[in-house]
Amino acid sequence: MTYQKIAILVACGALLGGAWAWQVSAAPQADALQQAVASATRTPENKARDAARNPAEVLSFFGVKPHMTVVEIWPGRGWYMEILAPYLKENGQYIGAGFNKTSHIAFYRKLAAELDDKIAASPALYGAIMQTELEPPHKMTIAPANSADMVLTFRNVHNWMRNGYTQEVYQAMYEALKLGGVLGVVEHRLPEDRDQDPRALNGYVKQSVVIAQAEKAGFKLLKASELLANPKDTADHPSGVWTLPPTFRDVAEEDKPTYEAIGESDRMLLMFVKPE
């Protein structure tokens, strides 16, 4: 197809209400996201979990676009950073709100150092990543106020509940987002008919609890998805959610097939907005 024909089709699409033209512009963005997920630069161990985590579908659900400023809360060892930073580096901005590098918690210091090493090893791949630190109550500015198009948090809510600073983190995310900005939440899901541990020590949180927390901070729920649902997960395992893959905490070798058959945890997928 010649460029002249493409131009004519795009113009016709615009005359027809813009729907076709939107599809033309959206297609390269979707392709770029798929390419970032499929990239050979990602860690093989991370790619092996794509079937359970569905990163392309999750990020598409949240509406991530390559021109956005996106904050990821506690990137850990960079599972999602490997996808998002290369995807955003040309036209957007990836901000990793990581652990305090001088935290009194050794595990936080260790993860922060590992992530620094990962970024330093591939500057051309990740681009100009911005790093901030989140450790309530002292380090709470995850991005300049009203600067982010999107804030994403993957399986972190139970940690905030355990440490008693849930609403402080929601407030920090709210302040970082622009009006109309999106908060995307993935969390291990506790069935609604079960009692919620206020500290979520088993790693599971009711979906209704997460929604109430976000709404208390001022967010509005836009939509939810069952993309990460796992009906095999009974959420009552001996060592909580960490009994399941990939952690297998305190699981005997002969019992691993049982938990492998269950798979990774049942998870909620929620999209909120900071109202304009």
Residues 219 and 174: their CA atoms lie apart, in Å, by 7
The number of C-alpha atoms within 13 Å of 23 and in the hemisphere containing its C-beta is 9
Q: Which amino acid type is present at position 118?
A: K
SS3 call for 72:
strand
pLDDT at 28: 58
DSSP assignment letter at 224: E
| Torsion angles phi and psi, residue 204, rounded to 5 | -105, 145
pLDDT at 9: 38
Residue spans of the domains in the chain: they are 42-273
Alpha helices for the chain (secondary structure H): 3-15, 19-38, 44-47, 50-53, 55-62, 81-88, 106-121, 123-126, 157-163, 166-176, 207-216, 256-262
pLDDT at 262: 98
With contact defined as beta carbons under 8 Å apart, do 59 and 33 qualify?
Answer: yes
- List the pLDDT tens digit at each of the 276 positions of the chain: 433 443 433 344 443 444 434 344 455 567 899 999 999 999 999 999 999 999 999 999 999 999 999 999 999 999 999 999 999 999 999 999 999 999 999 999 999 999 999 999 999 999 999 999 999 988 999 999 999 999 999 999 999 999 999 999 999 999 999 999 999 999 999 999 999 999 999 999 999 999 999 999 999 999 999 999 999 999 999 999 999 999 999 999 999 999 999 999 999 999 999 999
With contact defined as beta carbons under 8 Å apart, do 133 and 74 qualify?
Answer: no
pLDDT at 24: 41
| Torsion angles phi and psi, residue 271, rounded to 5 | -120, 120
Task: Give the torsion sign (CA, 131, 132, 134, 138).
Answer: positive
Q: Which fold has domain 42-273?
A: Rossmann fold (3.40.50)
Closest Cα to residue 27, out of 8, 13, 17, 48?
13
With contact defined as beta carbons under 8 Å apart, do 55 and 37 qualify?
Answer: yes
SS3 call for 146:
coil
pLDDT at 8: 39
pLDDT at 91: 97
Closest Cα to residue 248, out of 199, 257, 51, 46?
257
Q: Give CA separation, 5 vs 15, 17, 18, in Å.
A: 15, 19, 17
pLDDT at 152: 99
Closest Cα to residue 161, out of 218, 227, 209?
209
Question: How far separated are the first and last CA of the chain, in Å rounded?
Answer: 42
